[in-house]
Amino acid sequence: MAKPIKLYKLTPAQIELVEKLASVRDMRIEMEKLEYREIVAYQELAKLGFADMEIGRRRKAWIVLTEQGARVRTAGYFSKRAVVNLTEPQINLLRFLDDGPALESVGRASSEIPETMIDVCRRMSLRGWVEWSEGWRGTRWAKLTDEGRAVLMAVDATMG
């Protein structure tokens, strides 16, 4: 197995949460008001030191943007530390879902996705690199987002 590829730009989900935190007064949001995807992004940001949790009155948990998180935002969401280690299964999924230019892409039906890729696909959708859509007769389709396609192009350029 190849070594993971280090990415230094925040994921789309992490960027959305940083923007949400930066847009509110005190740069903090009650944890209970976050969606699951945002909680996952918070956990990743907390490991990097870009977000933190504070316990307020009545023991409410608040998610806050740290000074380091504000600096990363100012730097165009690029970090000096690796934000994500992109693994071989994740790269394989990105390639599997890459079915052409973004505007023409329909992605892959969930029934086409190998069992070994389902959890990887779920995780990549939480990061904002894959999106799910409903199709005809209740089928679900997974396809790369523009950001997912950009990550794949960068990986392919790196790997030569």
Structure tokens at 122: 């779920």
Residue 20 burial by Cβ neighbours in a 10 Å radius (0-12, 13-18, 19+): middle
Q: Which pLDDT does position 79 carry in this prediction?
A: 95
Q: Quote the pLDDT of residue 102.
A: 59
The model's pTM: 0.88
Q: Which are the contacts of 113, defined by CB distance < 8 A and separation ≥ 6?
A: 96, 121, 142
Q: What is the mean pLDDT of each run of 10 residues along the chain (160 residues)?
A: 86 97 89 94 96 88 94 96 94 88 73 93 95 84 92 84
Q: Is 138 helix (H, G, I), strand (E, B) or coil?
A: helix
Residue 1 is predicted with a pLDDT of 56
Q: Do domains 5-74 and 87-159 have the same CATH topology?
A: yes
Topology of domain 5-74 in CATH is: Arc Repressor Mutant, subunit A (1.10.10)
pLDDT of residue 80: 93
Does domain 87-159 fall under CATH 3.40.630.10? My reply is no
Residue 105: per-residue pLDDT: 67
What are the boundaries of each domain within the chain? 5-74, 87-159
Q: Output the pLDDT for position 37.
A: 95
- Rounded to a whole number of angstroms, the distance between the first and last alpha carbons of the chain is 17
Instruction: Give ∠ CA 15-118-138 in degrees, rounded to 5.
Output: 95
